[in-house]
Amino acid sequence: MDRFDKCPETALAWHRSGKGAVLATVIETWGSAPRRVGSQLAISGEGEIEGSVSGGCVEGAVVVEAMDALEEGKARELEFGVSDQDAFAVGLACGGTIRVLVEPIGEVLPEALLAELVQHRSDRTPVAYVADLDNNERSLTRDGHDQAFRMDRSGFVEDSRTFVAIHNPPLRLIVVGAVHIAQALLPMARIAGYDPTLIDPREAFGSEGRFPGETILHDWPDEAVQKLGLDTRTALVLLTHDPKLDDPALEQALRANCFYIGALGSTRTHAKRVERLAAAGFTQDEIDQIHGPIGLDIGASGPAEIAVSILAEMTRVLRKGA
């Protein structure tokens, strides 16, 4: 998914209200397609829509086909060429081709299966929706497809007609420490697709004036982290290098399976951190999850460049593994 859109949730609500609903999903693209594979459009039986499969250039045709598919009760596979002129209108340099799978809820995509998918999304549990287009079978799985989950990449299983749509929870970034690096990192992370939260019990540091529009929690870091929850789609960045602020949150993260944990500080500071954690009973494997000193070594100078190095390291770990 490009974002944690609400197309499955909306389609389920429309179906349960008696309107009828269809989910349209981009299953393949060639050239400069407006939307990536996995993008979705929900269409109700009354013609309401949410989401996008084409940036607007062919959506009218998809809606017409969806209404016919809903009446017929069968899936459809559509193919559209995006002309150079239409591509320019949606901000692309040249045209391309997209294939769209249209699935009526109930007849093709069972209501119970869609409800289970929606529940996984609500629980922030990664799950894959698998559509065997030859046998007209639909299922959910959390097993296999490790690379697809890591890359947020939906697509066909090689040499098959089985389409796998990856439903990952939205990425979150939790930053402990309202310092200058955080002022640069939070907006950068948002542009990269993260939902950032800043934690600092010192209200003078974590103020609206210094972080306009940001979500700020003034709880102690361990309490705030526990309130927010940690999972495989969460990155935790510790920027205070003050043990009484960093360590309690860090100790929770080491046993919470965060995909990234980074801690600011020199090599010497990190060595002392390792000693404290070992004394607290953490294993070497657990401690080795910490990226410290934080960030890729790009010769960063100043808060903004350090923020770039942190975001780059987060991306490398997310996409390639630790």
3-state secondary structure of 64: helix
Separation CA 13–CA 257 (nearest Å): 33
Separation CA 99–CA 78 (nearest Å): 5
Separation CA 22–CA 49 (nearest Å): 10
pLDDT computed for residue 184 by the predictor: 97
Separation CA 11–CA 109 (nearest Å): 11
Q: Residues for the chain: how many in total?
A: 322
pLDDT computed for residue 27 by the predictor: 95
pLDDT computed for residue 56 by the predictor: 65
Residue-level pLDDT, tens digit, the chain, 322 residues: 444 489 999 999 999 999 999 999 999 988 766 678 999 999 999 999 999 888 666 888 899 999 999 999 999 999 987 665 655 555 444 567 889 999 999 999 999 999 999 999 999 999 999 999 999 999 999 998 888 998 889 999 988 999 999 999 999 999 999 999 999 999 999 999 999 999 999 999 999 999 999 999 999 999 999 999 998 899 999 999 889 999 999 999 998 889 999 999 999 999 999 999 999 999 999 999 999 999 999 999 999 999 999 999 999 999 888 7
Best CATH choice for the domain 171-320 from the list 3.40.50.620, 3.90.550.10, 3.40.930.10, 3.40.50.720? 3.40.50.720
Contact yes or no for 181/205 (Cβ under 8 A): no
Each domain of the chain, given as residue ranges in start order, spans 7-123, 171-320
Looking at residue 286, its amino acid is E
Chain segment 260-296, per-residue pLDDT in tens: 999 999 999 999 999 999 999 999 999 999 999 999 9
Which among 190, 146, 188, 195 is positioned nearest to 170, based on CA atoms?
195
pLDDT computed for residue 1 by the predictor: 40
pTM, rounded to two decimals: 0.79
pLDDT computed for residue 58 by the predictor: 80
Q: Quick one: tokens of 108?
A: 């093709």
Separation CA 321–CA 273 (nearest Å): 23
Separation CA 72–CA 132 (nearest Å): 20
pLDDT computed for residue 82 by the predictor: 64
Contact yes or no for 45/70 (Cβ under 8 A): yes
E strands of the chain, at which residues?
21-31, 40-44, 49-51, 76-82, 96-104, 127-132, 137-141, 155-156, 162-167, 171-176, 194-199, 215-217, 234-238, 260-263, 290-291
